[in-house]
Amino acid sequence: MEKPIVACIQHRLTVSENAADYDAHLSRFLRMAKAKGAVLALFPELSGLGSAIPTFSGWRNSLLKKAKGQPTGLWQRTKAKLAGGAANITRADLNQTLVETLSAMPESLHDAYVSGFSNLARQYDMTIVAGSLYELEPRSNTIQNVSLVFGPDGSLLGRQAKAVLSPRDQAVTHPAEGWGVIPTPAGRVGILLGNDALYPEPARILAYQGADMLLTMAAVTRPATYHKIRQAAQARCQENQLYGMVSFLVGPDPFADADAPQFVGKSAIFAPLDFTPRFSGVMVEVGSPLAEGVITAEWDYPALEALWQESDTPLRREMPLLQAGPILANVYGSAVPLADAEQLMLEAPAVIVEDEKPEAEETEPATDEALTDDDSQPLPALQPLLPDATIALFEDDFLAEVALESNAEEEADSEAEDPDSPAEEALSPQADAEAPSGDDLPAVEPEMDAGETEQTVEPEVAPVAEVTEPAVTADPDLDLDAVPPPPPPPPAIEETEAEADAADEQVEAPLESSGPAVIATPEADDESQPWWKRVLS
């Protein structure tokens, strides 16, 4: 069945004088579910106890049945009040009767339960996950809180007992041994009773067994507990990407005192977030936590299987089993609850550190030796601990650092050997061409001759060097106009005004730098030039 319609029923636990009345009470909800096309119906926890009440015999129990029944007319309500007063006087107690019946004749409760739900499943041609009942488990011979599943033909398809017991259950029942999937025409059913839904492990076990749905049933009297179970049931569906339902029992508790809190809860049908409006995970829910009702929804199994393969959150395809498996095996194998597992978890890292410590001590000297003896060799101390790719990365970084340090040392040595200042090395080729060569410059003696004065240039003074020329005596009778023009300069030394200015700027650089000034000596005068030209130059 690819797209079944399922129904979730929320009802009161009524007290009926006979089995037919209780069956009629349940039929109201099944008729509504059938009218909506449902092929599977889920009842709440402990609703099966309603089929056991008609089997209680004795006049005290008869008084309680009349007192806690559902009177419709004025006379019936009057009789119910009178019966209730008499029951209080005689200290009649349905809970005590239930305990006595479970101890003396548990088979009578089982027969009434099976007969009622089996007939309803056959009558409405529907798979029914019946509400739980306290009954005898034949293999262990213990009383358990059990839910039975019936097929459309009324046959018994399977059973599931409650494992995590509430305080109410602990008084009369024993926990189940585990969880198992029940095949039905509507799909493979996984059942979680009450507190079983609060833990992720039961649902994950059912998911591993191939469950198509997770059906949760509960009967609680505290609103906080109802919210915990409902949110937990929804979480179990989301973390396993499955459809699910939660059915709550509501109304007064006939097995408790009259002033006891009532059963409370809001039943709902769940689906993966991708299939629900506003990504809430809730397909439909009952409107009130105290009212009875029936809700239905359609489940699309092909779409669910496609989600398992195409979802961007591959919860079923990618699971951290390698990381969590060893830890969970240690914890679960010790069979201790979370509150007692603190010491167990603290001991786990200590064992790992102890195993690695000797290996780390052996590798430390080898690492130092590899760094000092031979820089071109790989780091042997890291080879047992790191993969080859990581070792190669460390080698490249190490050799690059050694080469960088070697280049820095070579540059420092070359600067020590070459005392020339950076300003002197910055001269352009053009300035070198204008400046006289080293062969033409006079040798600079460290000591000055007598009568000579040392010429120095201050950095802030304009870079104009005074050049000493031989004294030239001008002839006053010399006709300047009769002097022939000087021949043109050779092409090799021809330069433009811009080039001359650039050369002057470059020659000025060493004058502004620190240290003794270097005064360039001009080349030998050309005798072919007139004296005034030589003086002006």
Those residues with Cβ within 8 angstroms of residue 220's Cβ, 6 or more apart along the chain or in another chain: 194, 226, 229, 248, 263, 264, 265
Q: What is the DSSP string of 236-265?
A: HHHHHT-EEEEEE-BB--TTS-TTSPPBB-
pLDDT at residue 212 in the model:
96
Those residues with Cβ within 8 angstroms of residue 285's Cβ, 6 or more apart along the chain or in another chain: 266, 267, 268, 269, 295
The stretch 426-440 carries a mean pLDDT of 46
- Which ranges in 91-194 belong to alpha helices (H)? 94-104, 106-124, 167-170
Confidence bin at 302 (pLDDT 50/70/90)? very high
pLDDT at residue 325 in the model:
87
Rounded CA-CA distance 458/514 in Å is 9
Those residues with Cβ within 8 angstroms of residue 9's Cβ, 6 or more apart along the chain or in another chain: 29, 30, 33, 41, 42, 43, 44, 247, 267, 293, 294
Tokens 């420092």 belong to residue:
412
β pairing state of 213-218 and 282-285: unpaired
The stretch 191-216 carries a mean pLDDT of 97
Domain residue spans of the chain: 5-319, 429-537
Whether the CB-CB separation of 264 and 223 falls below 8 Å is answered with: yes
Those residues with Cβ within 8 angstroms of residue 399's Cβ, 6 or more apart along the chain or in another chain: 375, 376
Distances in Å between the alpha carbon of 352 and those of 292, 338, 342, 348? 57, 22, 17, 7
Distances in Å between the alpha carbon of 223 and those of 14, 235, 259? 21, 18, 17
Q: Is the pLDDT of residue 447 over 90?
A: no
Q: Is the pLDDT of residue 510 over 50?
A: no
Q: Please name the amino acid found at residue 98.
A: L
What is the dihedral sign for C-alpha 357, 358, 359, 365?
positive
Per-residue model confidence as pLDDT tens digits over 356-400 = 444 544 444 444 444 444 444 443 333 443 444 444 544 555 566
pLDDT at residue 184 in the model:
97
Whether the CB-CB separation of 419 and 514 falls below 8 Å is answered with: no
Superfamily covering domain 5-319:
Carbon-nitrogen hydrolase (3.60.110.10)
The distance from CA 484 to its chain's CA centroid, rounded to whole angstroms, is 100
| Three-state secondary structure of 190-211 | EEEEHHHHHCHHHHHHHHHCCC
Classify residue 242 as exposed, middle or buried by CB count within 10 Å of its CB (0-12, 13-18, 19+): buried
Confidence bin at 15 (pLDDT 50/70/90)? confident
Confidence bin at 61 (pLDDT 50/70/90)? low
What order do you get walking across the sheet with 243-248 strand by strand? Answer: 182-184, 187-193, 213-218, 243-248, 268-270, 282-285
pTM, two decimals, is 0.63
Q: Is the pLDDT of residue 188 over 70?
A: yes
Q: Give me the percent of the chain exceeding a pLDDT of 90.
A: 41
pLDDT at residue 165 in the model:
95
Q: Is the pLDDT of residue 224 over 50?
A: yes
Backbone angles phi, psi at 263, to 5 degrees: -70, 145
Whether the CB-CB separation of 183 and 157 falls below 8 Å is answered with: yes
Most confident of 277-286, 333-342, 438-447, 484-493: 277-286
Phi-psi sector, 406: left (phi>0), alpha (psi -120 to 50), beta: alpha
Q: Look at residue 147 and give its three-state secondary structure.
A: strand
